[in-house]
Amino acid sequence: MAATTAGAFRTWLGPQVAPVPVVRDGASPGQTLPYIVVQEGTNYINHPTANGDYGDPDRELVIQEMVQVDVVQQARTQDAGGAPNAEDYNLVPLVIRLCSGPFQAGPAGSHVSGVQFVSARREPIVDNVVRTPITVLVTRTLERP
């Protein structure tokens, strides 16, 4: 079981998007394109209905954690005769689909009860690189200490 939400996403996405590497928090210097970056805990909120009696010290605590999954790709090839697209237009929809359904592996000490795609946007090309941040909402129960 992964120790973090990002680790759980790496474990889940990695085999399904291979050979594209999935990394946590940022790529290593010189990482070849394409790659996927997972950043966990960009925001935490209390689940609006699942937390029961706040006076009960034994109640389960359910949180919703925002996770950002960035798909980073080369925009165009550097051929002498032109600049054809190098971007894989199927990669982003695949990642969105994988971040929209059953997700069994959660971080250690936590039970994931839902993973929901929230939004995605394609950012403008910078230095021949296109980045598509995908926001995902993870609903999970925190384990008691």
pLDDT tens figures, 76-121: 876 656 556 788 999 999 999 988 876 655 555 567 777 889 999 9
Q: Sign (positive/negative) of CA torsion 135, 137, 140, 144?
A: positive
Residue 141 — pLDDT band, cuts 50, 70, 90?
A: confident
pLDDT recorded at residue 90? 94
Q: State the pTM of this model.
A: 0.82
Predicted pLDDT at 37: 95
In three-state secondary structure terms, 6 is helix
Distance between CA atoms of residues 118 and 137, nearest Å? 6
What's the pLDDT band for 59 if we cut at 50, 70, 90? confident
131 vs 59: which has the higher pLDDT: 131
- What is the pLDDT at residue 84? 65
* pLDDT at site 80: 56
Task: State mean pLDDT over 9-18.
Answer: 86
Phi-psi region of 92 (alpha: psi -120 to 50; beta: other; left: phi over 0): alpha
CATH class, range 1-52+59-99+134-145: alpha beta
pLDDT at 25 over 60: yes
- What does DSSP assign to residue 20? S
User: Which residue reads 């990642």 in tokens?
Assistant: 95
Of residues 37 and 58, which shows the higher confidence score? 37
Q: Are 113 and 106 a contacting pair, CB within 8 Å?
A: no
Residue carrying structure tokens 């699942």? 50
Beta bridge pairs of residue 115? 138
Distance, CA of 124 to CA of 130 (rounded, Å) = 7
- pLDDT band of 54, cuts 50, 70, 90: low
